[in-house]
Structure 1
Amino acid sequence: MSENPKAVADKLLDALVEHVLAEVTDRFDEVVVREIDLVLAAADTLKLGDVVDPADVKVTARIGVDQVGASALVETLVGPFADTFYNLDAASEHNLGDVIDRDKFQALVSAVLHMSTAQNRVFDRLTESPLVAQLASSFVGSIVGDILAENRKKVERVPGMSSLFSVGDRVASTAAKVGKGQLDAMAGKSAQFALQQTESAVRDLIKNAPVEDAALQVWDLHANEPVSELRKYGSEEENREITGLVYELAKSARNEEYTLELVDAFIDTFFETVGTKTIRELLDQIGLSRDDLVNEGARFAPSIIDALIANGVLAAQIRERLEPFFASDKVLAIISEG
């Protein structure tokens, strides 16, 4: 009498589960190489734009911006990450100049100093601010006042000059009382004049003074010191506060329509730039070789697989996925015919 088809199907299922488990344990290394080679063979023929729809990426990106960006996990990590960055032991072992290339820093400073369009725009907008004009006036007035005070100390040492300054003070006081309205009217013009002079001085400083050399000298002073010396510019509490404020700022802007439009535009640009490249070309440009993929697969997968086998989850999951097939009427009919 032939064996019951259902019993045969169960035996086949057990054998297949055992085979799959062996694939990810005993034969794992050869399986990783085989599967990656299969994927890379397909990657030579598949173009990114043909297998990934930009619209789907946009939906996923918006979920990331909306949910992940403000998730409890990210918020929980902001403070500890800020503290870790601030107290990193490696910061005492590496000099700043070893971390950031001096030539790149110089190129950045030079580029910023030569951004004439941005400078012109900034100065134009500053001249429109009455408060900035008042600050400039106070700044210039403070310099002039300091100069006059210093000169007065020197001149008053000359006999008779002290009395002359006293007369000048009384005259200035009387003039201020008599012409206060006129002085108030002139205050705005004085402030604007001071701002123009300050702007002119700053422009001249940027254009003619050795600002770039000065910046590099400051850089060189820090470059030969450990990165940890930068902690002297702020305490751990201040670092945590600034990091938190930056996170809150980013979180508040994440769902604004402008931010979402920007995310969409970046995705469109990405696909317009690399959408016609094959998956293999993209991997090469990223810098991931076949050996890198094999090594990383062999590095991380075994520990995960071992844990899943130990708690019985992996075998149960494999069986759950395969069992409907072996219990199907079609498979049982084939077994019966055999």
Structure 2
Amino acid sequence: MAKKAAKLSSKASALLDAQVEWWLARLDAKALEPWLEAEVDALLHDASKLKLEEVVSRKTVQEIARHYAAEMEPHGAIPELVGEIAQAVQAHPIQRKTKLGELLPDRHFRHWLDKLLELKEARAALIHAGLSNPVVHTVAGDLIYRGISGYLAQNSLTKSIPGASSMLKLGKSVLSKATPKLDAAIESTLRKYIQQSLDATLRESESSLQTLLDDHLLRESALEIWAGLKHQSLAEARATVSTGDVEELFVVGYEHWRSLRKTEWYSAVIDAGIEAFFDKYGKTHLAELLDEMGISRKMILTDLMRFAPPALAALKKKKLLEPLIRRWLEPFYSSPAAAALLAD
């Protein structure tokens, strides 16, 4: 239970009222800006004498970052809010007016493309991983089998012999009815042969792809595709993805993030980032650090004057500002030290 404040003497009460009025006048809109300017200048002057590591330790920042990024469970209202915001963004009329090319001008697209084309090792690894995938092997084998079967059934030689096509169909029908095991065995042998030769075929295909997909060809192909896409609006570009799909993708991503943030890797990355920041700026004075981050005196004052006056006006309108100031000051005037001073 909070300790009950001592009763104020008449002199202490009068001083408290006077100081409360002084602060109310100081926080008035007209007097606020010059006072804030003086305070910001004084704070920036003090910041030039303080180094980052003198104010806060890297360990403290790491603990706070891990708490909010990896340990604290986000409230259920957050994903719901994000989903509603995503719906509002998708439904906004600007999506129908804005073209892809407006958000990604040609020069920026070319910069991204040129950088991606420089990643030759990554491209080679991607092609290798794709052609080594068991699913690719299965699909490729099935396509080759169907191609061979179709060729044997409809090649030009059998078409040139009168009645050969009909006889081939009849023979196949009879064979499948009379000796189903033999027909299955032939198919199995053919498929087995295809799969055995497929590894070598895909290795050759990988080598051919690496040779054929040179930078010039890829660049020209990408630019041609972009030329057909950049005039589409954002609404047209996402026409095949519904709002429900976007929400489900967000849910999947959110659940993945929730599990990822519990891993050792996630915390290690946070710690490493903070270590690197303190290694670079730990001994830097705060004023210099603000300059490095692009935070100027003008920016600080602009934001203060953007938010402080309306907030103070709202507190005054609701008659909350005067009680707030009084709560800050009254404990001092009711303290034994103030009582002794006033008695003297």
| Residue number among 256, 262, 280 corresponding to 1:255 in the alignment | 262
**What residue in structure 2 maps to residue 312 of structure 1?**
319
| Residue number among 23, 26, 30 corresponding to 2:26 in the alignment | 23
3-state SS in 1 of match to 2:295: coil
- TM-score by structure 2 length? 0.81
Structure 2 residue 105 is the aligned partner of structure 1 residue 101: yes
Whether contact under 8 Å (2:58, 2:278) holds in the other structure is yes
Counterparts in 2 of 1:130 and 1:221: CA distance versus 1, 3 Å: closer
TM superposition shift of 1:36? 1.4
Q: How far apart in 1 are the matches of 2:339 and 2:35?
A: 30
Q: How far apart in 2 are the matches of 1:141 and 1:118?
A: 32
Report which stretch shifted further, 21-30 or 307-316. Answer: 307-316
Matching of residues 37-56 of structure 1 within 5 Å: 37-56=41-60
TM superposition shift of 1:178? 5.7
Report which stretch shifted further, 163-172 or 80-89. Answer: 163-172
Matching of residues 315-326 of structure 1 within 5 Å: 315-326=322-333
Matching of residues 131-280 of structure 1 within 5 Å: 131-139=135-143, 144=147, 148=151, 152=154, 155=156, 159-160=160-161, 163=164, 182-183=189-190, 185-207=192-214, 210-280=217-287
Q: How far apart in 1 are the matches of 2:148 and 2:92?
A: 47
Residues paired across the two proteins, number: 331
Counterparts in 2 of 1:270 and 1:88: CA distance versus 1, 3 Å: farther
Whether contact under 8 Å (1:96, 1:222) holds in the other structure is yes
3-state SS in 2 of match to 1:232: coil
Q: How far apart in 2 are the matches of 1:304 and 1:317?
A: 13
Report which stretch shifted further, 12-21 or 161-170. Answer: 161-170
Structure 2 residue 61 is the aligned partner of structure 1 residue 61: no
Q: How far apart in 2 are the matches of 1:178 and 1:311?
A: 89
Unaligned 5+ segments in structure 2 are: 1-6
Whether contact under 8 Å (1:49, 1:275) holds in the other structure is yes
Q: How far apart in 2 are the matches of 1:300 and 1:208?
A: 52
TM superposition shift of 1:279? 2.7
Q: How far apart in 2 are the matches of 1:285 and 1:145?
A: 67
TM superposition shift of 1:298? 0.8
Matching of residues 262-301 of structure 1 within 5 Å: 262-301=269-308
**What residue in structure 2 maps to residue 11 of structure 1?**
14
TM superposition shift of 1:16? 1.0
TM superposition shift of 1:40? 1.7
Amino acid at match of 1:163: A
Structure 2 residue 37 is the aligned partner of structure 1 residue 33: yes
Whether contact under 8 Å (1:70, 1:251) holds in the other structure is no
3-state SS in 2 of match to 1:334: helix
Amino acid at match of 2:206: E
Q: How far apart in 1 are the matches of 2:257 and 2:224?
A: 34
Counterparts in 2 of 1:125 and 1:231: CA distance versus 1, 3 Å: closer
Amino acid at match of 1:133: H
Q: How far apart in 2 are the matches of 1:67 and 1:61?
A: 9
Report which stretch shifted further, 116-125 or 50-59. Answer: 116-125
Report which stretch shifted further, 314-323 or 170-179. Answer: 170-179
- Post-superposition Cα deviations, 1:69-114, rounded to whole Å, max 9, x if no partner, equal 6322322223112213322322233322222232232232233233
Amino acid at match of 1:10: S
- Post-superposition Cα deviations, 1:26-85, rounded to whole Å, max 9, x if no partner, equal 411112211211222223333323322121111111222246663223222231122133
Q: How far apart in 2 are the matches of 1:38 and 1:139?
A: 77
Matching of residues 76-91 of structure 1 within 5 Å: 76-91=80-95
TM superposition shift of 1:318? 1.9
Whether contact under 8 Å (1:65, 1:255) holds in the other structure is no
TM superposition shift of 1:156? 7.2
Q: CA RMSD in A?
A: 3.4
